[in-house]
Structure 1
């Protein structure tokens, strides 16, 4: 967003009882952007997406220092590659915005437009999504700024390449088909989204504009899933005849060293469970800069890429990253865990999620075959993961275990606080004893069901 606009809009014009400027509050479910921070158990939270998901190392370090100065020093990268800064106070939000301005970080107005993280440097890329994003924002500026659009409206521009975005769901997808043509689809990931238009960049932008107008007409807060298919066909009569290129599965894991076809080396790193302390991030960035890294690209999957490292420096950087709490090797079990800030990081949390996550990794390795996500939520809000998962929710009585659901769902089994270690071990043993040859952990748990898992957990 325009930083000046953010400075103006982070105040309501009123002051609180202590004479501090009041911060505009948003309901839960809205997007906690710079202009509308969200109250959480550890203060205010803001979420931002730099233009193109790109930062210099010095800009990223400046954000980390600002997070320490004005918040609680904790930064997070979300599953969609957005950056969150936690623990802000009403009087420090404006100071954070000022620091972002000084650092020269551009945070565009309106809904986030997610682009392929390696845009412009991936030789396998079909077309440059950054240029498409700029064209969308320029041509559709007024529509994208409409207050009638849902705060969490999501747009994806996928240029293809080694790290594509086919696994991410979105309201509107703009996907490169060739150097000249783009596909526009709505409501879903690369497989499920419904194609509505295909053609030149200009035709794609026009189609996106039509969809935005439809959403604004339907009423405030509506999403692409709310558009009547019959109405959609009146606006896009050729949609049923569209033949698009099948989406390509992501060919590159986030964490680890990757050499692109043109010889460039990038290092993907993931903060443990998506969360990092300012001091650790600054130390990692200082080391990366000293070894020749030139840029950072935030990426879906709760991590980022370091760009520009000479290949011979990567092994030492991977070791250094691990020492600062970052996974820099593919296949680490922590990538299958979504954990919120937890007790000590959030006043709403009822247990230390990260401590328990490490216990799961050590005691229940059978869970981490890649077939499911383990969601550790300190309370029933479920901030860290919005999709069904194997979920452990904190409660006043202990824990609630949900086999395939959200943190707010009714637990399939309740676990007393002092029994959690026993429950973890019992769950791991149940999977090991009951998994058929070739069966995934997720399939095994589904087959056992709530009755089978509950029975196993209650055995002495």
Structure 2
């Protein structure tokens, strides 16, 4: 390749894709999560011509093209450049990790999208910040629903109506991040630059530099970070509990109507992508909003067409019912797509989805991970299964990265099923601490 090289195990991009069992994985950081119908049609065709027709929606609101053949990569890059979807080089692409509220700007209350694009431009153009770790992420929640409050970020800005400003937070979710005061929309890029520069300055002196802001807070303390950025820690604003959203079905937001559809495991093929693009033009304003919950939202729909929209998406294999059992499980590609996987994680997850929904009526109750990296889900889950040598370690109420199960505890899928069914039935001691 001309501007990058292949890296295995890296956060993939377009210039720097990641090899997988089914070919190269190309990740697109769609600006502000907004993509037009015409662009989606072109991407669908590119997936047919240069990949294996499979696309994925990531848990950071990005889109991935799977199975790209190395010989076809230059042609795919040219297509992506013509669509304006990729940056000029690898470094600029890697640092532009900005997650924005899926419905930002739709009701005209503020100009969050403009601020987000200015932040993206600053990150791409400031070469000093290109040294940020690949997973280092920024988040802007404009107060619209669904909320991004349950998603962790290194640097975050959450709209507080009472203050008519954005709360500045570092190293966590809305209710757990260290609060550093307020700022206006116009100040978002400048504040982000100061905090990111402080992160690089402090971490550069460490023998093992942390990869995330939470790690730096643990190492040197939040006060040191705030001081390096010329800021101060303050008492956080009062906020209620924030549940993980499920943006499926008709969504009402400040007088606007949108329609959200899910994709099992975030995986869809080229035909489904074409169908989503057609729906955006047929029922909405010709655009799709991507979300970090592996769902897509069609903005500006009319309420009286909700049944027709649901029927259309159902016929094209999308999920339109928030109570669909497939929405209770998360899983990576496992052994089918990754060298580290040893089980068919998605098939195993589907076989347990009915049990998972009984464990929790809302949200994801079961995460089946092909390894301890936990690529499919970073948040804690009532039950996480971690594949090892064809078996599973069971970790309750934590993430895949937090496992502490010994080799002696590795379980077959049948044993896992029996254990969970006994917990649901109220039998046994439930010694693993799984909440019913």
TM > 0.5 = yes
Which residue is 1:286 aligned to? 278
| 1:323 maps to 2:315 | yes
Which residue is 1:54 aligned to? 34
CA drift of 1:360 comes to: 1.4
Mapped to 2, the partners of 1:221 and 1:347 lie a distance apart of 26
Which residue is 1:239 aligned to? 232
**Matching of residues 150-169 of structure 1 within 5 Å:** 150-169=133-152
**For the aligned residues, what is the CA RMSD?**
3.2
2:175 to 187, 191, 196: 191
Structure 2 contact 334–344 (Cα < 8 Å) conserved: yes
1:283-307 CA distance string (max 9 Å, x none): 3433453345521000121111012
Mapped to 1, the partners of 2:235 and 2:120 lie a distance apart of 26
SS in 2 for 1:134: helix
CA drift of 1:396 comes to: 3.6
Change (3 A) 1:134 1:291: closer
Structure 2 contact 36–287 (Cα < 8 Å) conserved: yes
Structure 1 contact 288–317 (Cα < 8 Å) conserved: no
Which residue is 2:212 aligned to? 223
SS in 1 for 2:74: helix
Which residue is 2:156 aligned to? 173
CA drift of 1:145 comes to: 5.8
Mapped to 2, the partners of 1:308 and 1:372 lie a distance apart of 28
Larger deviation: 300-309 or 390-399?
A: 390-399
Structure 1 contact 386–406 (Cα < 8 Å) conserved: yes
Per the normalisation by structure 2, the TM-score is 0.83
Structure 2 contact 19–25 (Cα < 8 Å) conserved: yes
CA drift of 1:83 comes to: 1.3
1:9 to 3, 10, 14: 3
Change (3 A) 1:79 1:181: same
1:253 to 224, 239, 246: 246
Larger deviation: 399-408 or 324-333?
A: 399-408
SS in 2 for 1:283: helix
CA drift of 1:147 comes to: 3.2
SS in 2 for 1:258: strand
Which residue is 1:357 aligned to? 349
SS in 1 for 2:129: coil
Larger deviation: 101-110 or 144-153?
A: 101-110
Which residue is 1:265 aligned to? 257
Mapped to 2, the partners of 1:181 and 1:314 lie a distance apart of 34
Bigger Cα Rg = 1
CA drift of 1:274 comes to: 1.4
1:307-335 CA distance string (max 9 Å, x none): 23333332122133233332112232222
Unaligned runs of 5+ in 2: none
Structure 2 contact 370–386 (Cα < 8 Å) conserved: yes
Unaligned runs of 5+ in 1: 1-6, 11-22, 436-446, 454-460
CA drift of 1:253 comes to: 3.4
Structure 2 contact 14–86 (Cα < 8 Å) conserved: no
